Structure 1
């Protein structure tokens, strides 16, 4: 298997869409909920959500990375400077641990048919490497720590074990919950 991970720039948008919204349903997730205020998302009309995400891909820091296995897009990781992620900058539930200008991972998706093949580990490793190459001093994630099996409807937030596997450590907790499970603050320091 040959692995590659690339930022979601405009020329890679279709690959991103193939992972998160293969059938291009307008009301399906376009991974905007953390990057745009809810009122702004609600005001978007048919086709506008996709266009809003396309515009985010034109920024200096695209909204994440796509992982490929043998040139097929198989995973999406939303990662970027915390200061550029609207929901986190306004959140009273997921507050900064300190003043370090971290990058944050807020969503992880593996394309159906590609799960349980090592995609997540490879994608997270490459996403952290990408952040490091962009000058990030550390990367944070806000996963849940479920007892037993995880509710797959919340799988996008990730689990503690998933992040520990690639070198993240628990540095705190949040006041946010996902499916009645507390969310952690996990960090991997890069510098």
Structure 2
């Protein structure tokens, strides 16, 4: 049986971040910058600029995500951090209308992106990444964790749209289902106090 571990995305793991993001889907071109910039700024960037932005974000710290490893090989990625740092979230009307948490509260963290390399899909990496993200957020002082996953039980969804995660993964991890937002997605929340 394969050994799955997770580690914070630090600058010494930059090559592993890139390996995780480049295994299929939009991860490589996006560089997981989509959640942290407003749409107008996203449209104005190219791959090199996004890569530099992610590099600088990781170098500055704290780690904006976690890397999953299977038997030591980088296999997946999750973005998790203060919601206030993820500008697209706090400027998306359907999310701001659905949340009951103050938008300027940096104790509210958000999970906004999963990437799993094609050859490692179907091995439970999203669930492992999410469990690690919950612990990382708790250890970092987060009070609440929000996410905006896709309800895969309704309608058809392109694989590339599943970077938000699936509602079922979050519910299994103890999140509570909230209101629908947009694009077949749902607000889910999990308090992190013990």
Tell me the alpha carbon deviations over residues 124-149 of structure 1, each in whole angstroms, 9 at most, x when there is no partner. Answer: 10111111110111211111213366
- Structure having the higher helix fraction is 2
Q: Distance in 1 between matches of 2:158 and 2:176?
A: 23
Q: Distance in 1 between matches of 2:182 and 2:46?
A: 29
Q: 2:123 aligns with which of 113, 117, 120?
A: 117
Q: List alignment gaps of at least 5 residues for structure 2.
A: none
3-state SS of 1:73 partner: strand
Q: Structure 1 runs of 4+ off > 4 angstroms?
A: none
Corresponding residue pairs, total: 185
Q: List alignment gaps of at least 5 residues for structure 1.
A: none
TM-score of the aligned structures, taking structure 1 as reference length: 0.86
Q: Does 1:79 align with 2:86?
A: no
Report deviation, 1:46.
5.9
Report deviation, 1:165.
1.6
3-state SS of 1:31 partner: coil
3-state SS of 1:167 partner: coil
Q: What's the counterpart of residue 100 of structure 2?
A: 97
Report deviation, 1:45.
5.1
Q: What's the counterpart of residue 133 of structure 1?
A: 139
Moved more, 141-150 or 78-87: 141-150
Root-mean-square deviation (CA), in Å?
2.3
Q: Does 1:53 align with 2:54?
A: yes
- Structure 2 vs 1, CA of residues 46 and 135 (structure 1 numbering), >3 Å: closer, same or farther? closer
Q: What's the counterpart of residue 152 of structure 2?
A: 146
Q: Distance in 2 between matches of 1:166 and 1:70?
A: 24
Q: Distance in 1 between matches of 2:46 and 2:174?
A: 41
Q: What's the counterpart of residue 190 of structure 1?
A: 192
Q: 1:107 aligns with which of 102, 113, 130?
A: 113
- Structure 2 vs 1, CA of residues 46 and 120 (structure 1 numbering), >3 Å: closer, same or farther? closer
